[in-house]
Structure 1
C-alpha cells in the first residue's frame, strides 16, 4: 500500500475499565508514524475522532451499556473510514475498545461486495443484549456486523449486514460465552481456537485462513485485539485471558498476511496503558503493524 491514513478512536464506552481511551496516544507514542514512514509509506495521521467525556448510561431495557453513545461515536468513525477509502488510502484505526469495530466495518464494508474479516482475538465478540453477561458492547461488534443485535448498532452507516458469516475467520479464541458458541455453530463461522494453534501451528493456521478467504472475498479487514496475545506479551488489556498467542506467532501471522497481500483495512484495539507495563502493549502493537506493512529483518 502506498498511503495509510491513521484514525484514532479513543473510546472506552463499550466496556467498564477506564484507560483504553488512551490507546491511540500510546501507539503513537510507541512510534507508529515513524515506523510506517521508515517503510517508505506515505502516512496521513488524521488525529482522533472526538469522543469527549460523556456520562455513562445503562439502559436496563436493553442490557446494553452506553447504547446511544456507542452508536453516535461509531457513526462518526464509519463516515471517516468511508472518506479515507474514497480517497484511495488504507484506513488504519487505533482503538479504543473493540466496540469501535462496529464503526470501522460500517465504513469499510460498503466498498466491497464480499468483505472478509480476520478477527484476531481471545473472544468471539458475538454477544447480543440477550446473551451478554455484562452488557458491554465491546463484546458484540462481530454479531452487530452480521446484522445481529440492536438496530441502533446494526444500522450504523445505513445498511445491514456488513459482512457474511462465511467470510469470517476468528483466530486465537479461548473465551467464548454460551450464546457465542451457539451462534458460531448455527452460522458455521470458521474459528481457530488456541487448541488448533497449538496442535497445527501458526503457519498452517494462516495458510488455511488465507486460502479460505482469498477466493471468496474482494477485500479483507484485520481486526486485531491485543488480548489475542498472551498477557505475558501484552499485559495492558482490559480482558486478559491466559494461554494466548505468543509474540513471535503473532509476528509470523502478520508477515504471512503481508506476503499474501490480503489485508485492505485494519484496526488495532484494546491497548490500555493504565493497565500496562511501561507501554509494553502499545509497543507490541506497533511492532506487529510493522510486520503487517512489510517490515523485514533482512
Structure 2
C-alpha cells in the first residue's frame, strides 16, 4: 500500500431494519480515525459523507424481498464513482458504513482497477442471499452474492461490471450465522469459508496464513470488515450481533498479519451502530483495528 488514504462515509441504513447505523461514519470519525492514521504516517483526506436519499412512504412496501432497492442502488452507484475516482488518483479508499449493502458499491468501484481482485470478508454472516432465498428481504444480507453476479440485475450489474469478483478469489472469515440457502450456495460454488469452528480449531494465525496464501495470486485485495464479525463483548454496537465471535486480540492479529502481507489495497468498515453501542466502544474498536491494518506497531 501507498501512504495516501481517502475516507468516504456512507450513512446508509436502508439495507436492514434497525435504525442508527447511518450514524456509523460519524461515530468512527469521533473515535479518532483520521488522527490515528495520520499518526502512523498517512496522508489522509476526508471526502465527507454521501447524501443518502430516504424512501418516500409510498415506496416502503414496493418489494418486500428487496427492501429500499432504489435508494440503495442510487447510493451504491455514487459510492462506486467516488471509489473509482480515489483509485484513479492512486490513493487507498477506506469506506465507512453504514450497513453492509454499501459493499456492492465499494466493490464496483474497486474492481474496475484490478484484473484479479481478491476479497476478504470478515463477518458473522455470509451475505450470500438473493431475492429468491432471502428470509428477510434486507439487502445488507446480499452484497457478496450480488458482487459474484447472483441476484437482481440492478444489483449484479451496478456500475456496469458483472461479476465484480470471482468465487475462487473470496475468503469469508468468522462466519457463524449462515442461512440454509447460503450454506447450499457455499457448498455448490466452493466458496472458501473459515467459520468460528475452524478458527477455534486451527487458531487465528493459521487461518490468516492460509488466507494470505490463498489470495497471493490476486493483483489487489479488498477487506470488507463487518464489526459483527467480532464477539458482541468487544463490538456491542451492531445491528445483528451473534455471540461466539472473534475476540479483540484475534481481530488485531488478523489485521497485523494483513499489514505484514502487504496485500490490502482497499478497505471498508461497516455496521457500526452508535445507538446500540456502549460509550462508542464499537467505533473505538473499529479505529483500533484500522490502526493495526495500516501498520501501527508497538515498537
Which category describes the TM-score, using the shorter chain as reference length? over 0.9
> Is 1:123 aligned to 2:138, yes or no?
no
In the alignment, the residues of structure 1 paired with residue 33 and residue 50 of structure 2 have an alpha-carbon distance, to the nearest angstrom, of 18
Q: CA RMSD in A?
A: 1.0
For 1:85, the equivalent position in structure 2 comes to 87
Aligned length: 297
Moved >6 Å (runs of 4+)? none
In the alignment, the residues of structure 2 paired with residue 136 and residue 91 of structure 1 have an alpha-carbon distance, to the nearest angstrom, of 26
SS of residue in 2 equivalent to 1:93: strand
In the alignment, the residues of structure 2 paired with residue 161 and residue 62 of structure 1 have an alpha-carbon distance, to the nearest angstrom, of 25
**Structure 2 matches for 1:190-229, cutoff 5 A?**
190-215=192-217, 217-229=218-230
For 2:167, the equivalent position in structure 1 comes to 165
SS of residue in 2 equivalent to 1:267: strand
For 1:136, the equivalent position in structure 2 comes to 138
In the alignment, the residues of structure 1 paired with residue 5 and residue 65 of structure 2 have an alpha-carbon distance, to the nearest angstrom, of 37
Residues 274 and 287 of structure 1: CA distance in aligned 2, closer, same or farther (over 3 Å): same
Deviation at 1:53, TM superposition (A): 3.6
For 1:175, the equivalent position in structure 2 comes to 177
- Stretches of structure 2 lacking an aligned partner (at least 5 in a row): none
Deviation at 1:52, TM superposition (A): 4.2
Write out per-residue CA displacement over residues 119-159 of structure 1, whole angstroms, 9 at most, x where no aligned residue: 00000000001111100000000000001000111111112
Deviation at 1:105, TM superposition (A): 0.2
SS of residue in 1 equivalent to 2:181: helix
**Structure 2 matches for 1:105-116, cutoff 5 A?**
105-116=107-118
> Is 1:254 aligned to 2:255, yes or no?
yes
Write out per-residue CA displacement over residues 238-264 of structure 1, whole angstroms, 9 at most, x where no aligned residue: 000000000000000000000000100
Deviation at 1:2, TM superposition (A): 1.2
Deviation at 1:58, TM superposition (A): 4.3
Deviation at 1:232, TM superposition (A): 0.4
- Stretches of structure 1 lacking an aligned partner (at least 5 in a row): none
In the alignment, the residues of structure 2 paired with residue 258 and residue 130 of structure 1 have an alpha-carbon distance, to the nearest angstrom, of 38
8 A contact 1:7–1:94 mirrored in 2? yes
Write out per-residue CA displacement over residues 137-195 of structure 1, whole angstroms, 9 at most, x where no aligned residue: 00000000001000111111112000000000000000000110111111100000000
> Is 1:95 aligned to 2:72, yes or no?
no
Q: 1:151 aligns with which of 150, 153, 177?
A: 153
SS of residue in 2 equivalent to 1:64: coil
SS of residue in 2 equivalent to 1:106: helix
In the alignment, the residues of structure 1 paired with residue 298 and residue 271 of structure 2 have an alpha-carbon distance, to the nearest angstrom, of 27
In the alignment, the residues of structure 2 paired with residue 198 and residue 188 of structure 1 have an alpha-carbon distance, to the nearest angstrom, of 21
In the alignment, the residues of structure 2 paired with residue 63 and residue 244 of structure 1 have an alpha-carbon distance, to the nearest angstrom, of 28
For 1:23, the equivalent position in structure 2 comes to 24
SS of residue in 2 equivalent to 1:209: helix
In the alignment, the residues of structure 1 paired with residue 63 and residue 228 of structure 2 have an alpha-carbon distance, to the nearest angstrom, of 30
8 A contact 1:58–1:64 mirrored in 2? no
8 A contact 1:102–1:141 mirrored in 2? yes
Write out per-residue CA displacement over residues 71-91 of structure 1, whole angstroms, 9 at most, x where no aligned residue: 111000000000000011000
SS of residue in 2 equivalent to 1:84: helix
> Is 1:288 aligned to 2:292, yes or no?
no
In the alignment, the residues of structure 1 paired with residue 285 and residue 147 of structure 2 have an alpha-carbon distance, to the nearest angstrom, of 27
SS of residue in 2 equivalent to 1:47: strand
In the alignment, the residues of structure 2 paired with residue 60 and residue 32 of structure 1 have an alpha-carbon distance, to the nearest angstrom, of 38
In the alignment, the residues of structure 2 paired with residue 86 and residue 183 of structure 1 have an alpha-carbon distance, to the nearest angstrom, of 34
In the alignment, the residues of structure 2 paired with residue 114 and residue 58 of structure 1 have an alpha-carbon distance, to the nearest angstrom, of 38
